[in-house]
Structure 1
Amino acid sequence: MPTLSYPGVYVQEVSGGVRPLDTASTSTAAFVGLSEMGPDTGAGLVTNWTDFQRVYGSFITDSYLAHGVFQYFSNGGRQCYVVRVTRPDATVARVTVHNRAGVPAAGLTFSAKNKGEWGNTLLLQIEDGTLDPGNLFKLTVRRQTDPTFVPDSPQDLPALEVFDNLSIDSASPAYVVDVVGQASGLIDVEVRQDNNGTQQGLHRGGLGPTLPLDTDLAFQISLDGDGFQPVTLAAGASTATALSDIATAIENAVHPLKKRKASTDPAVFTGFSCTTETVGSKSRLVLKSGTNAATSSVRIQPAAAHDATALLKIGAAAGGRSEDGIALRRPAAVQLLQIGDSGIAAPVTEVTRGSDGDADITETSFSDAFPRLDHVTDFSLLAVPGESSPAMADLGMAYCANRPLQDVFYIAETGRDDDTVADATTFRNKLTTSNSYGALYFPWVKSLNPAGGSADPVLLPPSGAVAGLYARIDASRGVWKAPAGTEAGLNGVVGLGAELSDVDHGNLNPRGVDVIRRFPGVGVVAFGARTIAADPQWRYVPVRRTAIMLRVSIYNGIQWAVFEPNDEPLWSQLRLSIGSFMTTLFRQGAFQGATPSQAFFVKCDAETTTQADIDAGVVNVLVGFAPLKPAEFVVVKISQQAGLASG
């Protein structure tokens, strides 16, 4: 309420009382399994198959995770979470190279971003940086995916990641550990704690200075970051034609300079030297700071008048190159360096080969990874493709039922070799879970091999395709529509592990086994929509999933009510908000009934919330709905009618 202090009109916004609720997503899946690569410490979101390949790699022989994700996107999935499981003895590929000081115990360690043999295929190229080649370096990452192809040069393989102008200085914004660690999806970098080696900061001029200098005798110099100071050579240098005489003149001009910063070591000037260096038939100037420390440096820039840098070829603009004291700590330059699979010879000092591990993996290896999804709230389907055992199905459905919000549905599948009704029945009878938070599908499906290599169809677990089907039906018809029937075709499926008859289907359906069948003119379709629940109220998949959608939507939509005054104004707002949400769903065809009152109710008043509840800080909202149940059995009665008069 505004403060009323003067006569006039006051305008204020007030709430209309209706706080809209958003419908929770029901079509985002989470897949758990072994993968070629990728992080194994959390759940990663991928939005397409290419995204999955970039982070988690491609198809591998001992896992169906990649196949499941591929089928999911092929059948209508839009995004999913991936939880990578690794064997306990899996290792990360690493290689250590010494620094440019040549100290064997010093240098940098480059490692694959995560565990697995895939890291052994990474190739590094280390070069001088583009902007400051004397102090910075460039790192290029490539990958040798074909083991039979041995590249002769880096250019034989495409560059996957390029990091230019990296610094070995931990105080620099271009520090290699920070830049690569944050930006690379393939490697990490570690600077060895014993990395050492320094030199006198120096500046090498370009080859072949032009003499004599005549009147161009000036330039500016900064030593060890003390700041630029003007330098003017003695008059005798103007006619000198020997580069050694110029070097002596530069020394004599720099030695008397005084430091500008209290922290600067006076030795940078008194110990300063300038010499000549011959390369082939040409010579150049080499200017060195008087100190040998990581911070030692020499920088040259042109003078305002009578500038000599162009003739002497010193300064970056004239082709000169500075190397600081810390420059020796950069990794040694190398054209092809294989992480994890490089021989130990200079500059390589240590190698650790990456491995997928050999330890046995069990159902609990996957269920132990489920908690990584505990804090992920925007997925509603869970599958472990190919891990098709009764124990795995029990663990998956138990996890879904025991989540605090009970907001996830598990898609289970029978075993790979289960190809008869008896096999499927035996599998179902071994399940100890009978909750409604999962469905069991039979049989496995045949698909053209997405990994290539053979034209023959391969047998794949159906959970990935079924999860994608759920997403597709949810988007087109709504979560209340059973993901089954002639419109529930499985894309990319060309056959089945077992062809079933109506009689076979009739033996499995009452047991809660959802059958995948082939029909003429339709193709391969999901033709079952039952959970494995013992409670007939939750017999059907769309009923349970609709309840999950309502629970999550209302939970997220009424968070605003927490700590509001617990009385009729709050109760009416809750009734109005939830009632409006339910009415919208009713109009979309989510519930039974011809009118809203037949389809649902929302009750929040003094009957649901007593004075004792109010004293305890509790408000009770009762929401009921009449779920749509699929027409599982369509009965047509045909009779004869005789004696019709001809007309």
Structure 2
Amino acid sequence: MAEYLSPGVYVEEFESGAQPLEGASTSTAGFIGLAQRGAVEGLPQLVTSIAEFQRVFGSYLSENAFGSYRFLAYAVDQFFTNGGSRCYVMRVAPSDAKPASNTTPESAVLAFTAKNPGAWGNQIRIGIVPSSKAKTQIYEVLGTPGESKRYRVKNNAGFNPGDVVAFDDGTGKQYNRILSSQDNLIELESPLAGEADVVDNQLLPSKVLTTSEFTIHIFSGDEIETFEKLSLNVSAANHVDKILARSGIVTAQDLSQGTAGEAIAPFTVISGLPEESGKYDVIFGGGSDGSLANLSAGDFMGEDRGPGKRTGIQAFIDNDVVSIMAVPGVTDPNVQLALVAHCENLGSRFAILDIPREKTKVADVMTHRNIFDSSYCAMYNPWLQVFDPLDKRNIFIPPSGTVAGIYSRSDQTRGVQKAPANEVLRGVVGLEVQYNKGEQDILNPAGVNLIRHFTGQGTRVWGARTCSSNGLWKYVNVRRLFIFLEESIKNGTNWVVFEPNNDQLWARVQRTIDAFLTRVWRDGALLGNSASEAFYINIGRETMTQDDIDNGRLVCVIGVAPVKPAEFVIFRITQKTGSE
């Protein structure tokens, strides 16, 4: 409580009304699959366009090298083509994939390694050139000439203990190492030769003392990184290990002996060439994409190695933004079941599953469908024919990426309450299999959503069912609407935690949720002619016991009436007779 110690007028702010509650995003997708490059552990990478995907993860993969596991890039491309705006991507790589590294002689001093595994790293090129971060002139030799190692300079800024320096008198360079540098006084490791001639008080000096560093230029495709004025001095802020930690292309490890031994220019230590040579090129090799024989379901399922070290599906545990998940083209039941379990455990996302390409007959499709029973996933078939920019021909790809884009598009244009069906597929020129109405009569009740072609109407998603046997959750939009409501309420009521659990708080919580659900009802997501018919909110003594209150629990019971799609449109027509 505020203290009032002197007479006066005090103005105070306090919150008493409902807190604004913002709806959670439902249109952000998460994809897992093989790519040319990219991190294989840690946090999934945000991608907002196919161009950005190609910068981070590389281009399309060839069928000969990657077979049926190559569809990540195509799925992301289709996601954006069909209306998606942002997604997170996690790369998977075979266990025998290796990062490229420098194989030329400088590797004994600086060990460069590509940031992540793959043959892409073999194309990395590094150029090293000499540079200097500071120079000054010597004003005075302190001590006995010929023996003293201490010098008064014009400005010692940038000269750090352990740095290699070069003294240039116009006829040649001699290298030394700094022992101490303070108050414009520099002490070197050994006296400079010809100390009587090192002093230069001219306005435009001809004799200068300079630090000796090197600059690294890193090239990978269209990417260029430049790190200037690096040092092999371990104690310096510009030590190569510290600065190259910011690189998105390579990692570096200094294997030199630090400040030990003879003072030699870092460029010469690395390359074996004098600084006058101007440039040294580093060549990479040894990078490998691995083999499909070493790729297993476990690589996609991932491992939980702790925060920042998770792989595969497990990497998305650290991501609380994604609401749609897919592993494009990977139809191994172990992987798909792991993805569904991930979505069920978190309760905040929905999985889109592909059916194996070879399973086109109704009986075969049903065999794969019967593996699953969950309201947190939906299954789509058949595969789609699209243009392949890599091979310059039409190929068939799994539908999950395209459908994820349709989910996102439908959410943004109509809302999550609209079933993501009867929507046109963009960028799709054909279907691998054209199912008829009789076949869909069997597959639709079982929860297999077909993609069909209709004359004059293009190719459309023609189903909106989950893989659940529970009739309450058989529609995709109902489950995703509840995910939206639950996440919105959870995210928008964090302010309630640790507040006094009393009538005033209960009233504020009720007003907050009531305002949010009223807006959702007006947007057409809930049934009813009035808000009271669409939802109810119970909070207070009728939902909490004294034991709940004593143990710090606030219990709020909410009931909503979701809208459901008009899946079967029935017009009953009869003949009107003259006597009627």
Please state which band the TM-score falls in when normalised by the shorter chain. Answer: 0.7 to 0.9
Which one of the candidate residues 508, 515, 518 is aligned to 1:573?
508
2:368 aligned residue: 427
Gaps of 5+ in 1: 100-104, 145-157, 200-292, 294-323, 341-351
Deviation at 1:511, TM superposition (A): 0.5
Kept after mapping to 2: 8 A contact 1:602/1:621? yes
- Which residue matches 1:257? none
Deviation per residue, 1:338-359 (Å, 9 max, x gap):
211xxxxxxxxxxx44443454
1:392 aligns with 2:335: yes
What is the aligned partner in structure 1 of residue 13 from structure 2? 13
Provide the secondary structure at the position in 1 that maps to 2:443.
Answer: helix
1:491 Cα deviation from its structure 2 partner? 1.2
1:514 counterpart SS class: strand
- Residues 309-358 of structure 1, C-alpha deviation per residue, up to 9 Å, x if partnerless? xxxxxxxxxxxxxxx66564344565543211xxxxxxxxxxx4444345
What is residue 444 of structure 2 aligned with on the other side? 509
Residues 220, 249 of structure 2: 8 Å contact kept: no
1:607 is aligned to 2:548: no
Residues in 1 aligned to 2:103 and 2:333: alpha-carbon distance in whole angstroms: 46
8 Å Cα contact 2:29/2:88 also seen in 1: yes
Correspondent of 1:140 among 217, 226, 229? 217
- Report the Cα distance in structure 2 between the residues aligned to 1:325 and 1:360, rounded to whole angstroms: 45
Match of 1:382 in 2: 325
The answer (yes or no) to whether the contact 2:434–2:453 under 8 Å persists in 1 is: yes
Q: Distance in 2 between matches of 1:331 and 1:616?
A: 68
In structure 1, what is the equivalent of residue 142 of structure 2? none
* Counterparts of 1:631 and 1:50, CA distance in 2: 38
Preserved CA contact (<8 Å) 1:420 1:498: no
Partner of 1:436: 375
Residues 507, 560 of structure 1: CA spacing in aligned structure 2 closer, same or farther, 3 A cutoff? same
Shift of 1:136: 2.3
**For each residue in 1:552-609, what CA deviation from the matched residue of structure 2 results, as whole angstroms up to 9, or x when unmatched?**
1111111221222222111111111111111111111110111001101111010101
Asked if residue 362 in structure 1 is aligned to residue 296 in structure 2, the reply is yes
CA deviation vs aligned residue, 1:188-228 (integer Å, no higher than 9, x gap) = 111115467754xxxxxxxxxxxxxxxxxxxxxxxxxxxxx
Residues 614, 457 of structure 1: alpha-carbon distance in 2 compared, 3 angstrom cutoff: same
Amino acid aligned to 2:366: T
Helix, strand or coil for the counterpart of 2:59?
Answer: coil
**Whole-Å Cα distance in 2 between the matches of residues 66 and 328 of structure 1?**
43
Q: Which amino acid aligns with 2:449?
A: D
Contact 1:465–1:490 (Cα < 8 Å) also in 2: yes
Q: 1:390 and 1:613 mapped to 2: Cα distance?
A: 42
Change (3 A) 1:468 1:159: closer
SS in 2 for 1:160: strand
2:290 alignment partner AA: D
Change (3 A) 1:428 1:457: same
The 2-side partners of 1:499 and 1:48 are apart by 31
Matched, 1:541 2:476: yes
Q: Which residue of 1 aligns with 2:269?
A: 329
Which of 88, 105, 112 is the matching residue for 1:81?
88
Alpha-carbon distance between aligned partners in 2 of 1:329 and 1:32, rounded to the nearest angstrom = 43
Look up the equivalent residue of 2:29 and give its one-letter code. A
Q: Counterpart of 1:31 in 2: which secondary structure? A: strand
Once the two structures are superposed, residues 21-48 of structure 1 have per-residue CA deviations (whole angstroms, 9 ceiling, x without a partner) of: 1111101111111111101112111121
Counterpart in 1 of 2:34? Answer: 34
Note the C-alpha offset of 1:185: 1.7
Q: Deviations over 1:124-171 (max 9, x none)?
A: 222223767972223222346xxxxxxxxxxxxx66223333222233
Q: How many residues align?
A: 484
Structure 1 22/494 Cα, relative in aligned 2: closer, same or farther at 3 Å?
same
- Residue 117 of structure 1 aligns with which residue? 119
CA distance in 2 between partners of 1:53 and 1:80 (Å) = 14
Residue identity over aligned pairs, in percent, reads 38
Find the aligned partners of 1:69 and 1:511 in 2 and give their Cα distance. 28
Structure having the higher Rg: 1
With normalisation by structure 1, the TM-score equals 0.71
Corresponding position of 1:128: 130
What RMSD, in angstroms, separates the aligned Cα atoms of the two structures?
Answer: 2.3
SS at match of 1:83: strand
The equivalent residue for 2:174 is: none
Equivalent position of 2:421 in the other structure: 484
**Higher mean Cα deviation, 126-135 or 18-27?**
126-135
Structure 2 Cα separation of the partners of residues 575 and 163 of structure 1 = 56
Give the aligned partner of residue 187 of structure 1: 250
1:45 paired residue number = 46
Counterpart-to-counterpart distance in 1, 2:28 and 2:574: 48
